Each structure stands twice: as structure tokens, then as C-alpha cells.
């Protein structure tokens, strides 16, 4: 396992945006009737977090600072 396991800006950004996506998606399901627009926005944020992570990793933000 690498020394920077989960302690990089790319990893923190990925987790933060993915968590926001799950919270937004869950909030959309709390409405009666379910608000599918808000739910799919949450899904989009969760998927976007993967893209953001890949871009940040390519830019070098997923490397150890030591």
C-alpha cells in the first residue's frame, strides 16, 4: 500500500463530491412524491466525482507530498 493512501487532495475531493452526490440523491428521495430531478442530480454528482478524481490524479494531485 502506498504512503499516501487516501491523504491526497485528489482523494479528499473525490470523497467530498461523492458524499455530496449521495446526500443530494437521498434528499431527492425524501420528498413525497420522490423528486427524480434532485435524485438524478445527486447521481450525476457521484459520477462526476470519478471524473474529477481522474483529472486531479493526472495533474499530480494524487501523489505523496513527501
Kind and range of the H or E element at 61?
none
Q: Is residue 2 part of a domain?
A: no
Instruction: Return the half-sphere exposure (C-beta side, CA atoms, 13 A cut-off) of residue 9.
Output: 9
Is residue 62 within 8 Å of 4, Cβ to Cβ?
yes
Give the domain extent around 22: 9-58
Q: Is residue 32 part of a domain?
A: yes
- pLDDT score, position 7: 83
Q: Is residue 33 part of a domain?
A: yes
Radius of gyration of the chain (CA): 15
Report the number of distinct structural domains present in the chain: 1
pLDDT tens string 15-56: 999 999 999 999 999 999 999 999 999 999 999 999 999 999
The pTM of the full predicted model, rounded to 2 decimals, is: 0.83
4 or 61, which is more confident: 61
Is residue 13 within 8 Å of 45, Cβ to Cβ?
no
Amino acid at each position: 500500500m502506498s504512503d499516501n493512501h487516501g491523504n491526497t487532495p485528489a482523494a479528499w475531493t473525490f470523497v467530498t463530491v461523492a458524499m455530496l452526490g449521495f446526500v443530494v440523491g437521498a434528499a431527492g428521495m425524501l420528498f413525497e412524491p420522490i423528486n427524480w430531478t434532485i435524485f438524478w442530480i445527486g447521481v450525476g454528482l457521484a459520477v462526476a466525482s470519478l471524473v474529477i478524481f481522474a483529472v486531479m490524479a493526472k495533474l499530480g494531485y494524487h501523489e505523496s507530498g513527501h
